[in-house]
Chains A and B, each alone.
Chain A
Amino acid sequence: DTEVTQTPKHLVMGMTNKKSLKCEQHMGHRAMYWYKQKAKKPPELMFVYSYEKLSINESVPSRFSPECPNSSLLNLHLHALQPEDSALYLCASSQVLAGGPGELFFGEGSRLTVL
């Protein structure tokens, strides 16, 4: 199974709502990632979890709160978002290699619209 599954595929929320994005993988990968991608732009790294611990936070605003309950699951909790946060949110996973970054396996993304 070489799949990363993201739910929901589409999400519309108001600026006062609280919602969550979910990501699951069963490849035994111990690194999981959240990326944000705006239209016609490359993915921007938000968070990296390695062995279920947050290892990289790219100075993401606190209205985005990541959670890694176990080695297969990754959540992104959303609260008090702004319209400019509307984007495609991509989850990815990889092996943890000693020398450098492993191959990332991406999900299809969650398309978020903030009204």
Chain B
Amino acid sequence: AQSVTQPDIHITVSEGASLELRCNYSYGATPYLFWYVQSPGQGLQLLLKYFSGDTLVQGIKGFEAEFKRSQSSFNLRKPSVHWSDAAEYFCAVGATGGGNKLTFGTGTQLKVEL
């Protein structure tokens, strides 16, 4: 079964600084990988996804992520954080042939200092 780990529960960055949120997955084959963002009291919004192909994926709101098979990682990056990026970020993994089941990581709470 697939699993995903987000090692950082909380991260605080200054506005304008760069950001990297870590995500490690466990799955035997090539996984389906996603990053979602959730603002307080809201649903989840997809930032980006990786199914196959180019390992550097561009998403919305200036985010990108890089799939590294050798490290079983799919870290999320942004070169310059805005105060509105403060939210909860979830990494999720799905299995090839695993139907429609996504497994979510425990999330990383991002705080942005002005």
Contact = CB atoms under 8 A, between A and B. Distances in A.
Contacts of A88: 41
Given A33-B100, A55-B100, A103 B107 contact: no
Interface of A is mostly: strand
B71 interface: no
Contacts of A50: 99-100
Interface of B is mostly: loop
B106 interface: yes
Interface stretch (B18-26, B43-51, B78-86): B43-51
Interface string A35-53: 0000011110100101000
A101 B101 contact: yes
Contact of B43 (A99, A102, A106): A106
A21 interface: no
Interface residues on B, range: 20 to 34
Nearest to B103: A45
Given A100-B32, A106-B44, A43 B104 contact: yes
A15 to B, nearest CB: 24
Given A33-B100, A43-B44, A109-B43, 6 more contacts: A45-B102, A56-B100, A90-B43, A99-B32, A104-B36, A104-B46
Interface of A: 4, 31, 33, 40-43, 45, 48, 50, 55-56, 88, 90, 92, 94, 96, 99-109, 111
Interface of B: 32, 34, 36, 41-46, 49, 51, 90, 94-102, 104-107
